[in-house]
Amino acid sequence: MPKVNVAEVNKQIEAKLKDLKRGRAKTERAQKIVSKVDARVDELRDELKEIRLELDQRRAAVKEVREDLHVAELEEEVERLRVAAGEAAEGADVEDGGDEEISRLGSTLDSLSGLVEEGLATRDRLLDRLDRLREREAKAETVLSEATSERDEDREALKRMRARRKKINDRQDRPSPHFAYAEFDCRNGQELPKGSEPAVKDWCERIGEPLRKKFGAVHINSGYRPVDYNASVGGEANSVHIYDYAGRNFAAVAVDITCETGSPEDWYAFTAGKADGRGIYATFHHADNRGRIGWSAATWSG
């Protein structure tokens, strides 16, 4: 029976516990984000409800003003008084008190004209207010829709993260001490092809484990990409991410990673001599073992 290296076993157990702790921390952060978005959605719904209530009140006020003013009737009354004033002026020479009647009719006419103008101005102000409230309502509905969509996206992301974490924990066979085959699955949920496992194991031993030892936990942003998925994310047509492309028979794999510490420049420099294909990007590092299919070493920036 081979001798068990207790120190190495303990080291692997501690590393596994650290990974599980990080996973729980990520899940808790995602849950907090979802809770905050939920609270913001509730606030927006309350605000939208208040805006709609105010709109209803303004509509009722406009209706009441229109009914109280009887604008059309007032305009008819003004016209009638104008006619009456004209008739009174014509008969002023033959009727006693004609000047007094004209003055009275003119005063009434002025009062009614002012009332009509004031009512119309009030109506216009209320209509302007209604227009502004409609604009606020439309904006509030847009913000609410965006917040709801963002919340749904966060929930879906949390669901995918939990499913991926479960898949990683459920698949016990591992290519190396600190990596699981499930971490290389496609982001659309399609599992890593069985035939690519030897190439994944080679990648972990040559590239992944040294990176982890130097920079801490390694997060795999993108591993396996079937042809259709690779095209949907704008990948190169012959990308090494398509593990089974053009007769490669899963012999080479590509992985986009970020590490717990360091920068893309640090990771890129470190994988020199370890990875065959190396790409440096603003937030991540691409490393592949294309030499397994006879391709020449390559470096690039994107």
Q: What domains can be seen in the chain, in order of their start residue? A: 22-169 (1.10.287.1490), 174-301 (3.30.1380.10)
Answer with the residue of higher pLDDT: 73 or 262: 262
- What's the start-to-end Cα distance of the chain, in Å? 51
Nearest alpha carbon to residue 189 among 225, 241, 149: 225
Could you tell me which residues come within 8 angstroms of residue 27 by beta carbon, excluding any fewer than 6 positions away?
158, 161, 162, 165
Beta bridge partners of 247: none
155 confidence band (pLDDT: 50, 70, 90): confident
Beta bridge partners of 24: none
Contact 177, 91 (CB under 8 A): no
Beta bridge partners of 219: 258
Distances (CA, A) of 128 to 59, 122, 224, 300: 11, 10, 58, 59
**Is 60 exceeded by the pLDDT of residue 102?**
no
Distances (CA, A) of 300 to 204, 268, 276, 280: 21, 10, 12, 6
pLDDT attached to residue 275: 98
Question: Residues 3-42: pLDDT tens digits?
Answer: 556 677 667 667 766 766 776 777 677 677 767 767 776 7
**Is 90 exceeded by the pLDDT of residue 236?**
yes
255: number of Cβ within 10 Å: 28
Helix (H, G, I), strand (E, B) or coil at 268: helix
Contact 245, 252 (CB under 8 A): no
pLDDT attached to residue 92: 47
Contact 264, 302 (CB under 8 A): no
